[in-house]
Amino acid sequence: MIRKLKRRALAATAAAATVLGGLAAAPPASADQPALKHCVLDLDTGRQTCYDGFTAAFSAASAGRITDAPDSLEGGGGAGLQELRAETLQLMEDVEGGANGNVIIGTFFEHKDYGGATLTIEADRPCRNNNAQDHWGPTMPPGWNDIITSLQPWANCWIELYSDENFGGDRDGPFKTNTADIGSYMNDRTSSIAYR
């Protein structure tokens, strides 16, 4: 009996060493998978650019028109979030009035309560709220598949999340307001997004 236990213990140790050795030898993340920080995706071009801080990302998404976004919205953002909403509404009105540039239609967060890495989406126009799909992302940009936990819709957009690419699988939404936790149904499962 003691011999069997020792053999099992040795076998388990050998198996663990093999697994850990395999992990140590695993290749690094591929170059096309950016380290998540604070990214901006232009839906019209499909180009994603990442920045060290949320302030820089939001400034880039607004073509330099919003430069005072708080560097973190974690925990709700408070007054900073209210000011940011007012500035994005002004940005939307400017574009609707003929100004050059894009509008910000949504921001997605890695963690609940608007924490962690961020993905801010820009597009050429706001949403019309007419139950038609105004903008869409049939796939997530590199590094963003299956990690969204909270979100903020902007520019009149209602956001629908899908568990599979090309708007397939499970669907949740529309999310019409800031959502600090999208809930367990779609948490870390988003593979495509529609904006209405």
Q: What is the pLDDT of residues 123-140, one digit of tens each?
A: 998 998 777 888 899 999
Domain assignment of residue 47, yes or no: yes
Domain assignment of residue 141, yes or no: yes
Domain assignment of residue 23, yes or no: no
Q: Is 91 helix (H, G, I), strand (E, B) or coil?
A: helix
Residue range(s) defining the domain that contains residue 99: 35-195
Q: What pTM, to 2 d.p., does this model score? A: 0.78
The pLDDT value recorded for residue 7 is 38
Which CATH number does the domain housing residue 177 bear?
2.60.20.10
Domain assignment of residue 65, yes or no: yes
Closest CA to 133 of 93, 173, 164, 170: 173
* b (16+ CB within 10 A) / e for 27-44: eeeeeeebebbbbbbbbe
Domain count across the chain:
1
pLDDT, one tens digit per residue, over 87-111 is 888 888 888 877 777 899 999 999 9
The pLDDT value recorded for residue 134 is 86
| Dihedral (Cα; 182, 185, 191, 196), 10-degree rounding | -60
Domain assignment of residue 116, yes or no: yes
**Cα–Cα distance for residue pair 10/179, rounded to 1 Å:** 50
**Cα–Cα distance for residue pair 134/92, rounded to 1 Å:** 15
The pLDDT value recorded for residue 79 is 66
The pLDDT value recorded for residue 71 is 80
The pLDDT value recorded for residue 31 is 46
Domain assignment of residue 10, yes or no: no
Beta bridge partners of 106: 121, 153
Q: Which residues of the chain have pLDDT under 70?
A: 1-35, 75-80
The pLDDT value recorded for residue 15 is 38
Domain assignment of residue 16, yes or no: no
The pLDDT value recorded for residue 56 is 94
- HSE on the CB side for 104, CA within 13 Å? 30
Take residue 71 and report the two structure tokens written for it: 């560097």
